[in-house]
Amino acid sequence: MSWSTRDTHFDKDLVTTNGNKYMIGNGYMGYRGTLEEFGKEQLVAVTLAGLYDKAGDKWREPVNAPNGLYTSIACDGEDLTVLDSEVASHVQELDIRSAVHCRETVYNLPEGGLLTFSAERFASLDNQHLLVSRLSIHSTRDCRIVIETGIDGKVWDINGPHLFELQEQLEKDVLITSAITGELKIPVVVAEQAVFSFGEQQIDEGKALRRISVEVRAGETYEWYKYVAVYTGLDALNAGDTPTPIEAAVHAVRSAQAQGYAVLLNNHRQLWEDRWSHSDVIIEGDEEAQFALRYSIYQLLIIAPAESEKVSIPARGLSGQVYKGAVFWDTEMFMLPFFLHSDPGIARNLMMYRIHTLDGARRKAAEYGFLGAFYAWESQDTGDDACTLFNVNDVFTGRPMRTFFRDKQVHISADVVHGIWQYVQFTGDDSLLLDGGAEVVWECARFFYSYAYYNSVKERYEILDVTGPDEYHERVNNNAFTNALVKETLEIAMRTAELLKEKYPEAYRDLSAQFSAGPYLAEFEAMLDSFYVPQPDPESLIIEQFDRYHKLEEVTLAELKSRVINKHEYWGGGNGLATTTTILKQADIVLMLNLFKHSFTKAVKKANWEFYEPRTEHGSSLSPCIYALVAADIGSPDWGYPYFMRTATVDLTGVSKQYVGDLYIGGTHPAANGGAWMAAVLGFAGLYFDGETVHIHPSLPKQWQSVELPVVLRGGSFRLHISRDEVTVSAAASNREDLAFTIQDGQPELCHPGAQLRLRLEAASV
């Protein structure tokens, strides 16, 4: 079974796409899939999680560190690079099983003969500060090679520069590049140790670059290693003698060198093996889907904040500074389910990030004159909103357009609450509520209480003037998705209170005291009693996306596309193409039907899928997976399959929107990666855990014979095998409790620790 992806020739036009596709990372940093000799023009980036900087009045964005893996080769005075030299063959490959990137380029030497340059690298999972590489050259004729390798301090920035007072120095044999960020003056340090057993080395004073000259003999292989460490002032360095980032980085490369490449690679591999052992999903019968799904999981794993609860996952992962490195609702709604089922510790970190950024959300609510917590649409380190009021430029006039993502996508606060409750219900770990989760829940409920409008004629609370997931229709009233989520927030606020009161009465009393001035539970309850959520029309079963949606112009997507004047024009906003029509950017009602799948009949889901799908542009990579999920839910997996494949391959094919207006939005798509997992596991395999019982309702696409996966439920480890006629559940012997499973709504059966359940499926429904 395939665990790697490769390109077997070099194509200049794919440099940016491959930078995303071949990315490696370890949650602390992302390293784009660029080649050793590349520089900032080819978008090399070592993107650091959670370190942001603002240059002048430009957008705040994450900081890219200097590139410690920079290496170039010259033969007999001539530079060899895939960009300009004569290449006889070239392979770039990513092994997703161990997150190791390789390239091998064979150059036709100007005076005849071939020179092979190979490099392998990984971002250590064992020590998240480390990048490690093994490189080699081999020539078919004698020649003089000069290798330049060190730390490239000329970094790619979208809205930089971010690194100031850049200094290059040498400490014994370790190269060091250090700088401080402009806004917060945070030190950023890269140290590099290269180990050569050949040639003559020269390092110019004040330069983080080594020049190794060697008379290469035909037929011999010359191999060397690079150990690179990245530290910043944000790293909690070992207490005690408190080393500086420079000391920590130097120490890290020295001990890496002492351990050696093979040991480091082996440790890294073992940790990856362990990761896969609790996250790999095996699809039998569909190689293409198998690889695409694994690749999607890989993308999530390389950016998962396994060691920090102060960062979450940005919308473009760690693939650069696109989208300001900001965290959107994507995390809670599209990525969290994967982590909940495979690594609850990471799921907890993601939700702790929201707790740590609660003050930013409080500030935003206050700024708009509301109570409680209004989470940032684009969240960075403090939780203050990085989203601007003018997020898109009009391609026709070049003028900034007023967009209302920041002010009106109020559903973000409900998404955060949804995530917190999912975590608590799923894991049973209610300590998250005591660690700040309850405050987040209640503050968000207070925000909605202050945002809601009481319609005294209709005697109900409504939510007016919002933008739902479909961003092409801004400032609408009673967006069904938003209203449904606000209702859920209020319910969760009540349930949180009940849970704490019962289990932690003292903590409940103390926490509640903070909210005694209200609005609090009494008000939430009153609001819930007369809260309006748009319902299916009794005849058509369609739920109107928002008030008066049905009054908009009905056009086909094809017709709308034919009206496009500029391929980068923005379809939403004041005068966007879609604004006056029923065409939506992404799943909205259908997403709601998926989130609250047990509150709607199959007929309602089907009617709305069929109504909204032709009207959906899928202009966001978050959209198709939701159509796949609901298709599976209504028993039509083959309708869903193409949407699943589109989602799962987005970062392999690079087929996605690259521009909105004149803004570059390329990069990786973690929400789609999480969406692919959801479609496969929660959709086709039909897994649903309500906190007590695991329900399995398979709906496999025709190509799939079975799906097999590990899951962690309530702290217990299980392995599920779901085929067309049978479900097998194996519980780890180390599990501490029984867990109930029901298949196709049958009788629940308990699975004891160490036991196996085999449950037959009714053929017709798979």
List residues binding ligand BGC (CB under 6 A): 315, 328-330, 469, 471, 585-586, 620, 622, 671
Contact (Cβ atoms closer than 8 angstroms) between residue 581 and residue 512 = no
Shortest distance in whole angstroms from residue 330 CB to ligand BGC:
5
DSSP line for 296-355: HHHHHHTT--TT-SS----TTTTSSSGGGG-B-THIIIIIHHHHHHH-HHHHHHHHHHHH
- 410: region left, alpha or beta (phi > 0 left; psi from -120 to 50 alpha): alpha
Does 471 participate in catalysis according to the annotation? yes
In terms of CB distance, is 468 or 536 closer to ligand BGC? 468
For 280-308, letters b (16+ CB in 10 Å) and e give bbebbbbeebbbbbbbbbbbbbbbbbbeb
For residue 593, the SS3 value is helix
Expressed in angstroms, the distance from the first to the final Cα of the chain is 25
Q: How far is CA 725 from the centre of its chain?
A: 34
Q: Which residues pair with 134 in a beta bridge?
A: 120, 225
Q: How many CB atoms lie within 10 A of CB 342?
A: 25
State the DSSP H helix or E strand holding residue 476, giving kind and residue range, or none if neither: none
Residue 169 amino acid letter: Q
Q: Which residues pair with 145 in a beta bridge?
A: 75, 214
Beta strands 209-216; 200-203: pairing state? antiparallel
Rounded-to-integer distance, Cα 519 and Cα 71, Å: 61
In terms of CB distance, is 101 or 669 closer to ligand BGC? 669
Q: Which residues contact 239 (CB under 8 A, 6 or more apart)?
A: none
| Dihedral of the alpha carbons of 169, 171, 173, 179, in degrees to the nearest 10 | -40
Tokens of 636: 């039509």
CA distances in angstroms from 44 to 69, 657, 666, 669, listed in the order given: 10, 21, 14, 18
- Residue 329 annotated as binding site: yes
Rounded-to-integer distance, Cα 325 and Cα 323, Å: 5
Rounded-to-integer distance, Cα 567 and Cα 424, Å: 44
State the DSSP H helix or E strand holding residue 197, giving kind and residue range, or none if neither: none
- Residue 585 annotated as binding site: yes
- For the four alpha carbons of 73, 79, 83 and 86, in that order, the dihedral sign comes to negative
- The number of CA neighbours under 13 Å toward the Cβ of 6 is 14
Contact (Cβ atoms closer than 8 angstroms) between residue 547 and residue 640 = no
In terms of CB distance, is 379 or 425 closer to ligand BGC? 379
Contact (Cβ atoms closer than 8 angstroms) between residue 324 and residue 377 = no
In terms of CB distance, is 216 or 414 closer to ligand BGC? 414
Contact (Cβ atoms closer than 8 angstroms) between residue 638 and residue 303 = no
Most distant CA pair in the chain: distance in Å?
90
Active-site option among 471, 474, 488, 569: 471
Rounded-to-integer distance, Cα 269 and Cα 298, Å: 14
Known catalytic residues are 471
Annotated binding site for substrate: 329-330, 585-586
Annotated binding site: 329-330, 585-586
